[in-house]
C-alpha cells in the first residue's frame, strides 16, 4: 500500500481509502447488514487501508455508527474522515433534496456545524476527527459566507475536535475564499475514468496549493468493476439507475472497453477493479481514492490496488481507450 500526505496536515493516509456511503443502506443502496459492514471495515484495515470516509448523510447517521463500532479499539490506526453541511434536522439552510420524508438542506452556519460535529463524534465514538469536510457548499438563499464557516472550523481545530479542514464538491473560487482565512488540506470531488471534469481546473489548483484530492466514486458505483453486465438489473429507486453511464447504450460501451483490458488483468494478475483503481491513483496530482465495499472480499480486493504500478505503455493505452469513449449519449 502506498501512503500519501494529506496536504500540510502531517497526516499520512493510504492511497486507497474505504468509502462507506453504501453501508448506510436505505433507499439509495438497499438493505445492508451492519455486522457484515463491520467485517468489511476490518478487512480493509487488515489489508493496509487506514483511511475511512463517512458522513452524517449516509443512512441518516447509520454509516457513522457502524464505522464507530468497527474502529473501537483501533482508533489510533485509523485516519477518520467525515463531513458537515448537509442538514436534516430543521429548516435552516437552503433546500437541496428530500428523501424518505426527510428534507435535506445545504447549511454551513457555525451553529449547525457545532451541532453536527458533536453528533458525529458521538456516533463515531471518538473525541476527534482527522479530516473534516464541508460536504456541499452553502448556496442562496441561506448562503453562509465562507469566512464565517472557516472561522468555525478553525475554532474546532484549535479545540482539538478536528485535525485538518477539508472541502468537498468545491470549486476553485470557493477554495480561494477558504484559503484567504486559513488552511485547507484536502478536497473530495467526484472523479473516475468516466468522470474527469476536475482535470481542467480543480486538479491543477489543488496541486499548486498542496491540497490533497480524495476522489469519490472511482469505480462509478460498480460499473468499472467488470462485474456489471447488460443483464444486471437495478431497482427503480436505486441511485445508480439515474446515472447516464448506466443507461444501456452507454453501459455497453463501457463494458466493451473493460473487456478489451482482460489481457492487462492477466499481465498484472489483478481484478478489473484493481486495474481501474491503480490507473486512478496514479493520475498526476490525484492522491487518494475512496472505494466503496459491501463485503470483506471487496474491501480486500480494492486495497491490493494500492501497491500496483502500471507501465507507461499500458497507461497510455488505457488513456487512449478512455478518451475514445467520449461523453455519455
pLDDT value for 243: 83
Given a cut of 80, whether residue 242 has pLDDT beyond it is no
Return all residues near 113 (Cβ < 8 A) that are at least 6 apart: 84, 85, 149, 152, 153, 156
- Respond yes or no: is residue 58 known to be catalytic: yes
Hey, what domains does the chain have and what are their CATH numbers? 11-218+283-304 (3.20.20.100)
> Which of 58, 132, 205, 216 is labelled catalytic?
58
pTM: 0.93
C-alpha cell read off for 242? 439515474
* pLDDT tens digits, 44-69: 999 999 999 999 999 999 999 999 99
Average pLDDT over residues 222-245: 83
Amino acid at each position: 500500500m502506498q501512503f500519501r500526505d494529506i496536504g500540510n496536515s502531517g497526516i499520512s493516509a493510504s492511497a486507497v481509502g474505504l468509502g462507506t456511503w453504501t453501508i448506510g443502506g436505505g433507499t439509495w443502496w438497499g438493505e445492508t447488514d451492519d455486522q457484515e459492514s463491520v467485517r468489511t471495515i476490518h478487512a480493509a484495515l487488515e489489508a493496509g487501508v487506514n483511511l475511512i470516509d463517512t458522513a452524517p448523510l449516509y443512512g441518516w447517521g447509520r454509516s457513522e455508527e457502524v464505522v464507530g463500532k468497527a474502529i473501537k479499539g483501533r482508533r489510533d490506526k485509523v485516519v477518520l474522515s467525515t463531513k458537515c453541511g448537509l442538514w436534516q434536522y430543521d429548516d435552516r439552510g437552503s433546500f437541496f433534496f428530500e428523501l424518505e420524508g426527510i428534507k435535506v438542506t445545504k447549511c454551513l452556519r457555525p451553529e449547525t456545524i457545532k451541532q453536527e460535529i458533536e453528533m458525529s463524534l458521538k456516533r463515531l465514538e471518538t473525541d476527534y476527527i482527522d479530516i473534516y469536510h464541508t460536504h456541499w457548499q452553502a448556496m442562496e438563499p441561506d448562503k453562509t459566507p465562507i469566512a464565517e464557516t472557516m472561522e468555525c472550523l478553525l475554532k474546532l481545530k484549535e479545540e482539538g475536535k478536528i485535525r485538518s479542514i477539508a472541502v468537498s464538491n468545491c470549486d476553485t473560487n470557493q477554495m480561494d475564499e477558504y484559503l484567504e482565512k486559513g488552511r485547507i488540506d484536502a478536497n473530495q470531488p467526484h472523479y473516475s475514468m468516466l468522470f474527469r471534469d476536475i482535470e481542467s481546473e480543480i486538479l491543477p489548483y489543488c496541486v499548486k496549493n498542496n491540497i490533497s484530492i480524495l476522489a469519490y466514486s472511482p469505480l462509478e458505483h460498480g460499473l468499472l468493476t467488470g462485474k456489471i453486465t447488460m443483464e444486471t438489473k437495478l431497482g427503480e429507486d436505486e441511485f445508480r439507475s439515474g446515472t447516464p453511464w448506466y443507461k444501456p447504450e452507454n453501459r455497453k460501451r463501457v463494458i466493451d472497453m473493460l473487456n478489451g483490458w482482460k489481457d492487462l488483468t492477466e499481465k498484472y494478475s489483478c481484478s478489473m477493479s484493481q486495474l481501474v483503481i491503480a490507473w486512478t491513483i496514479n493520475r498526476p496530482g490525484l492522491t487518494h481514492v475512496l472505494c466503496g465495499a459491501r463485503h470483506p472480499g471487496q474491501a480486500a480486493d480494492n486495497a491490493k490496488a494500492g501497491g500496483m504500478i502500471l507501465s507507461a505503455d499500458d497507461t497510455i493505452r488505457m488513456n487512449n481507450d478512455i478518451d475514445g469513449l467520449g461523453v455519455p449519449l
